[in-house]
Amino acid sequence: MPNEIKSESCESKEQKPEMACHSHVIREQGPDQLEKKESTTHTNGRSAADLKLSASKPQSRTGRKLGAKKTEDKTSQNRKVTDYYPIRRSNRKTKAELKSEEHRHIDDLIKNDIEEGLQIKHIEGKGRGIFAAKSFKKGEFVVEYHGDLLELAEAKIKEAQYAQDPKKGCYMYYFQYQSKTYCVDATEETSRLGRLINHSKTGNCQTRLHPINGTPHLILVASRDIEAEEELLYDYGDRSKASVLAHPWLKY
């Protein structure tokens, strides 16, 4: 019995080195197996340094994305409304621009002796009169009261001469311009129509001064909207006793 026990003990001791050797064989594999293992290791991750780099790369990419996002947010905050919507420039003209255009238009009409939208008609018991051949808006230029521009002294001499011949009539209009008195004398018969517009205290036209290069011109503009076929009338403004006696129609 003791011998049998001893024998088992020896077998056990002899098996332990085999286990140790078997374990050692696993650590020291053959060349074919090493190549296979190295190839597997290379596919999975190369080396520890490579693993560290590859582990750090996602963090670096994430950092760049966050930085780019912050830059985009900051850029979008700094953008102006005009970056999204184009500036619309108004085509509307100012009052000063419109007034300047109208002044130049009247200049051209006066310089070129243009008289549009007017016609002469004979009025029973009154003589000639000027009628609108088209409609005029309030404030619109109608016609120039054209004649000889005289200073006060010369105008008075002319007026005295006309008074000696009642049949001739008198078409003189006095006005103030830059602290001086002037007169437009339209007594001489011409083809200009402004001189033939008749008087009325409730007329539809009014006189206005229109300077061109420092020279005053007397014009008539619509004092209200005027329809076609209306007679054009304005207030002569002469209320003197002598004038009313000579021309009773000045009272109306």
3-state secondary structure the chain: CHHHHHHHHHHHHHHHHHHHHHHHHHHCCCHHHHHHHHHHHHHHCCCHHHHHHHHHHHHHHHHHHHHHHHHHHHHHHHCCHHHCCCCCCCCCCCHHHHHHHHHHHHHHHHHCCCCCCEEEEEECCCEEEEEECCCECCCCEEEECCCEEEEHHHHHHHHHHHHCCCCCCCCEEEEEECCEEEEEECCCCCCCCHHHCEECCCCCEEEEEEEECCEEEEEEEECCCECCCCECEECCCCCCHHHHHHCHHHHC
Highest mean pLDDT among 50-64, 69-83, 129-143: 129-143
- Residue 111's pLDDT is 96
Instruction: Kindly state the average pLDDT of the residues 216-233.
Output: 98
pLDDT-derived band at 98, boundaries 50, 70, 90: confident
Above 60 in pLDDT, residue 44? no
* Of 108-122, 151-165, 202-216, 228-242, minimum mean pLDDT range: 228-242
Instruction: Kindly state the average pLDDT of the residues 98-127.
Output: 94
Name 132's bridge partners.
118
CATH assignment of 95-143+190-207+222-251? 2.170.270.10
- Residue 76's pLDDT is 58
Above 80 in pLDDT, residue 137? yes
Model confidence pTM above 0.75: no
Measured CA angle at 102 (ends 97, 105), to 5 deg: 130
**Separation of alpha carbons 196 and 130, rounded Å:** 6
Amino acid at residue number 212: I
Instruction: Kindly state the average pLDDT of the residues 148-168.
Output: 92
Domain residue ranges in the chain? 95-143+190-207+222-251
- Residue 180's pLDDT is 96
- Residue 95's pLDDT is 86
Mean pLDDT rounded to a whole number for the chain: 75
* Tokens standing for residue 82: 């005009």
Q: Residue holding tokens 């000027």? A: 130
Task: Pick the more confident residue, 44 or 80.
Answer: 80
**Separation of alpha carbons 22 and 16, rounded Å:** 10
pLDDT-derived band at 193, boundaries 50, 70, 90: very high
Above 80 in pLDDT, residue 243? no
